[in-house]
Amino acid sequence: MAQPADSVVARLVHERGDWLLRCAYLLTRSRDAALDLTQDTLARAWTARERVEAADHPDRYVLRIMLNLHRTTSRRSRLREVELLEAQGLAAAADPVAAVDEQHRIAHGLALLSDRQRSVLVLRYWADFDDAAIADVIGCRRATVRSLAARGMAALKSHLEAAE
Amino acid sequence: MTDELDRRLRRYFAREELDAPSAAELVVPGSTAGPRGPHRLSRMLIAAAAVVIVVGGITVLQQRDPDHRPASGPTPPTCPGSSVIRTASLDRPTVPAFRTPLAAARAWAGPDAGEIEIDSAEGFAYLRRDDGTVRAWMRLESTRADLEEDEPSAWSVDGSERCASEASTDEWNGGARLDCPPARAIVGTVVRESRPGQERVGLALEPSAPDLMGFGVAASIGRTPGARSGDVTTTYVREGRVQAAARLALEADRWIPKQLAVCPDLAPGPTPGSDDLRLLPVTVGHCAIDELRHDNRDWTASATDDFGWGGGLAERWVGLGTVTEEGDRLTYRDLGGQEVTFLPTGSAGTARSQPCD
């Protein structure tokens, strides 16, 4: 059995820890929630470390665990999540007012999307995954990815137009 | 507009990621290193320890200082007479995490432990002798201790002491006793205990969270001496008053809850009054809802209503609720109000996209 220091999970934390945390943060919009989500993901990855090791893309495998964990937890706390998002208001950002407003509008619009739609947009526009990679991570067909992205973008566009 | 929206999204994510926490704050599972705060670190160590135990059979005691006490939290009771035998004397080398504190305590204490009282508010379990005196206590830890009460969790035993002297719970802990928090729903875990000449089985009732993954506090355990086959009825008594009664049936060496009658003040949703309420058990595995047999048909939870598959530490549990069948759609509603749509097994919409971890 691999020792903790040289386990695939330890390597992932070393090489992709920041990347996983940023993805978790973009999904959860909360530093604490991102830490918890990432930590829980790593704990699950540790239990499945042989499969993670054997995966063609271990980082994608772990990301898949994260997205499913996020789906499970966000389903339970959806209302609270929106309230917190509105309460935070991105007030801590140091950008000029217009930029803050822009961030706020998009953040709010993303929060209104389904978890899968938001996940697809994060993976496409932040992680720069192509549709095949997103389908692999989310566990669906590429056509479904395109559909989720299209519907997510349409909803986001509608929200932004209403907000502007 | 789409290209413009693409650019805005990329700009948004680029700005947002700057606020993300650093990987330096992560704890690597299986390692004790990590610069996180004491509460979070403690929780993560427990989670990591639990995971290691489950996977590799490494004991908590090997990874922890036996004198470890949480930096914060309730003060553990002290055995009167101060004659204490440490945890290791209980010889329970591996303790996985469980969905309920009662299950965790029972796994730690073993099948011959007798009655176990759970004080989940303070995080302790007590073992009693036949005469009612306490002979040991356990400190219970939840892997999600910093979440809301209705969040799912996994419990494990973090430490215990065996009292050599006679003592009562009242003397230790200000009269702490089993006390059900306000119940919003009733779900149950079948608890079974075998002793020479005696078989005990019961449904450990739990006031559930508003979703199927939620869990509550094990409130009571039924007692039905001599039951080895067929149906048994177990009653739940608190403060001298019957709170609920459940009927369980032994099927293929497995006890299945069949009926549950809940006293009105504990029953949410459709009030059953004093009559039996016919309830259908829905079994949840560690990451998926099991198939359901109803009206001579097999039903599978729709893919959208099923759980994620991120793996889990929790034990199986059984929820209870009613079902409404409309054509090829079965709507299950548990006593907490959670609804899950079931579709005929094998039909479109039931396929899980990923296997369980």
Do A17 and A59 lie in one domain? The reply is yes
Substitution target in A72, A128, A157, A158 with the highest count of B β-carbons within 10 Å is A72
More confident site: B78 or B304: B304
Indicate whether B23 belongs to any domain.
no
Do B299 and B219 lie in one domain? The reply is yes
- At residue A26, does pLDDT exceed 80? yes
**CATH code, A114:** 1.10.10.10
Query: For residue A120, what are the domain limits?
Result: 94-164
Do A108 and A62 lie in one domain? The reply is no
What pLDDT score was predicted for residue A113? 84
Taking the C-alpha atoms of residue A92 and residue B265, their distance in angstroms, rounded to an integer, is: 47
Is B3's Cβ below 8 Å from some Cβ in A?
no
Do B100 and B50 lie in one domain? The reply is yes
> Would you list the DSSP string of A20-72?
HHHHHHHHHS-HHHHHHHHHHHHHHHHHTHHHHHHSSSHHHHHHHHHHHHHHH
pLDDT in tens, A70-84: 877 665 443 333 333
Do A70 and A134 lie in one domain? The reply is no
pLDDT bin (cut points 50, 70, 90) of residue B294 is: confident
> How far does the CA of residue A154 sit from the closest CA of chain B (Å)?
9
Q: How far is CA B18 from CA A31, B98, B147, B190, B317, in A?
A: 11, 38, 26, 48, 41
Residue where a domain stops, chosen among B140, B173, B206: B173
When CB atoms are compared, the residue of B6, B17, B54 closest to A47 is: B54
Q: Which amino acid makes up residue B15?
A: R
Taking the C-alpha atoms of residue A88 and residue B124, their distance in angstroms, rounded to an integer, is: 37
The interface predicted TM-score (ipTM) is 0.73
Residue where a domain stops, chosen among B173, B206, B239: B173
What pLDDT score was predicted for residue B30? 55
| SS3 of residue B87 by DSSP | helix
Query: For residue B202, what are the domain limits?
Result: 186-344
Q: How far is CA B205 from CA A53, B90, B271, in A?
A: 40, 27, 17
Q: Which amino acid makes up residue B270?
A: P
- At residue A38, does pLDDT exceed 80? yes
Residue B221 phi/psi, 5° resolution? -130, 135
Most confident of A20-34, B91-105, B133-147: A20-34
The pair of three-digit structure tokens given for residue A131, joined into one six-digit string = 């549709």
Is B342's Cβ below 8 Å from some Cβ in A?
no
- At residue B7, does pLDDT exceed 80? yes
CB contact under 8 A, B10 and A4: no
What pLDDT score was predicted for residue A116? 84
- At residue B117, does pLDDT exceed 50? yes
Indicate whether A86 belongs to any domain.
no
What pLDDT score was predicted for residue B338? 56
CB contact under 8 A, B51 and A46: yes
Taking the C-alpha atoms of residue A103 and residue A80, their distance in angstroms, rounded to an integer, is: 20
Most confident of A30-39, A143-152, B290-299: A143-152
Do B339 and B197 lie in one domain? The reply is yes
Residue where a domain stops, chosen among B173, B198, B216: B173
When CB atoms are compared, the residue of A65, A99, A156 closest to B310 is: A65
Do B203 and B336 lie in one domain? The reply is yes
Q: Which amino acid makes up residue B203?
A: L
Indicate whether A82 belongs to any domain.
no
What pLDDT score was predicted for residue A115? 81
What is the mean predicted confidence (pLDDT) over A73-99?
40
Do B168 and B195 lie in one domain? The reply is no
Least confident of A120-134, B223-237, B267-281: B267-281
Do B214 and B154 lie in one domain? The reply is no
Least confident of A70-74, B90-94, B118-122, B274-278: B90-94
pLDDT in tens, B154-191: 666 666 555 544 333 333 322 222 222 222 233 445 55
Do B208 and B340 lie in one domain? The reply is yes
Do B155 and B205 lie in one domain? The reply is no
Q: What are the residue ranges of helices labelled H in B17-155?
A: 38-56, 60-63, 101-109
Q: Which helix (H) or strand (E) holds A151?
A: helix A142-163
Question: Smallest Cα–Cα separation from B74: which of B181, B133, B159?
Answer: B159
Residue B266 phi/psi, 5° resolution? -105, -10
What is the mean predicted confidence (pLDDT) over A40-69?
83
Taking the C-alpha atoms of residue B110 and residue B190, their distance in angstroms, rounded to an integer, is: 16
Output the average pLDDT for chain B. 51
More confident site: B335 or A16: A16
Indicate whether A126 belongs to any domain.
yes
Q: Chain A 80-119, CB below 8 Å of chain B: which residues?
A: 92-93, 95, 99, 102-103, 106-107
> How far does the CA of residue B353 sit from the closest CA of chain A (Å)?
6
When CB atoms are compared, the residue of B21, B40, B354 closest to A25 is: B21
Total domains in the fold of chain A: 2
Taking the C-alpha atoms of residue A78 and residue A113, their distance in angstroms, rounded to an integer, is: 11
